[in-house]
Structure 1
């Protein structure tokens, strides 16, 4: 493990990621890359370059994508993998993680999240503040589970899907890849068609 961490993205999500990294206490130095040329620091940490400077730093830093947009995060994460960068997993100390839980590289687990036993979380995911993921879930790569979302047991969420704040997913539900589930929505049946879903219970719009 390298003792320096570089976070791509110094705005909202990137700042929360940096706060997790600081609380983990694993790195002697934490810095940002950001494409805003006027930004020189964030969270009291230096912005030392832009996204295109990744190659310059990959030998000395572990690198993490701190961008909330699923597609952008996936694109940058895959670039990091292609160039052989070291990509950590960031887990806030104030989380509950059960037995036999697998968490992929580049995933951030925020404060207060609960992930129960025998669940698999893919790479590049966001498991956001106070969300709960119960037993035997499969969360595929580059998914965003928003703050306060609650997933019951044996749920599968397909790659790149986004579950909005406060959404609820019943047990034994499968959500296909690339979907958006709106804030406060309740999913009680499988979602098999890509799209945006809102309401209680959800309907496709």
Structure 2
């Protein structure tokens, strides 16, 4: 049995807690949350204590999952912990029992796959990737570190997704497309062409939203 601390007391952390619990007793157990909000310290969240700030992780033995919703926030926490001596070996992964992980697929430390996700075959996930329920990734997809796929996102074959990129609910990406780093794809978007770093795309077919609020699009379909 793996004892786990969830880092940040976020909506994603609560969903991850529920997912771990649904996997059944005797496997993994969440023993606490860590969050920098001092008003939460000593309280219970869904019956689990908030034990202190994020830096407490350096002094505890449990395995870790970073549950900040935005990939950029997970990346910042990852870097902060590394500076404290918390390396990749401290992180676990969580794959819900209903997720399908096909032959040849690789999942690196810290990644979270919630219910109903499908990796058909030869899919590669980087560190601290979050796949919300019903995400479908097909053959030879590559998702770099800290990518977020909201519920129902679907990628065709050989799609490459850069670090910290976020795909909204029900977004889809055509095969052989490359999304750069720090890209935001809006909910329901259909991406047919490569997207450069840092751009926001939405619509069907998706097009760049030059004046769009990235924060607003992130709220509309990615985990908190």
TM-score, L = length of structure 1: 0.92
1:7-62 Cα distance to aligned partner (Å, 9 max, x none): 111220111112223334433552111223333111211111112322222xx211
Matches of residues 40-119 of structure 1 in structure 2 within 5 Å? 40-57=43-60, 60-82=61-83, 83-85=85-87, 86-119=90-123
Matches of 1:137 and 1:92 in 2, distance apart?
A: 20
Q: Does 1:145 align with 2:149?
A: yes
Which secondary structure state, in structure 2, belongs to the residue aligned with residue 84 of structure 1? coil
1:79-128 Cα distance to aligned partner (Å, 9 max, x none): 33441351001111111110010001111001111111011011011111
Aligned residues: 202
Query: CA-atom RMSD, angstroms?
Result: 1.6
Matches of 1:193 and 1:74 in 2, distance apart?
A: 16
Matches of residues 122-133 of structure 1 in structure 2 within 5 Å? 122-133=126-137
Matches of 1:69 and 1:7 in 2, distance apart?
A: 15
| 8 A contact 1:139–1:157 mirrored in 2 | yes
| 8 A contact 1:77–1:106 mirrored in 2 | no
Which secondary structure state, in structure 2, belongs to the residue aligned with residue 31 of structure 1? strand
Matches of 2:110 and 2:197 in 1, distance apart?
A: 27
Matches of 2:100 and 2:58 in 1, distance apart?
A: 35
The corresponding residue for 1:13 is: 12
Moved over 6 A (4+): none
Greater shift after overlay, 160-169 or 11-20?
Answer: 11-20
Q: Structure 1: where are the runs of 5+ without partners?
A: none
Matches of 2:146 and 2:30 in 1, distance apart?
A: 26
- Equivalent residue for 1:198, pick from 198, 202, 207: 202
Matches of 1:197 and 1:29 in 2, distance apart?
A: 37
Matches of 1:29 and 1:198 in 2, distance apart?
A: 37
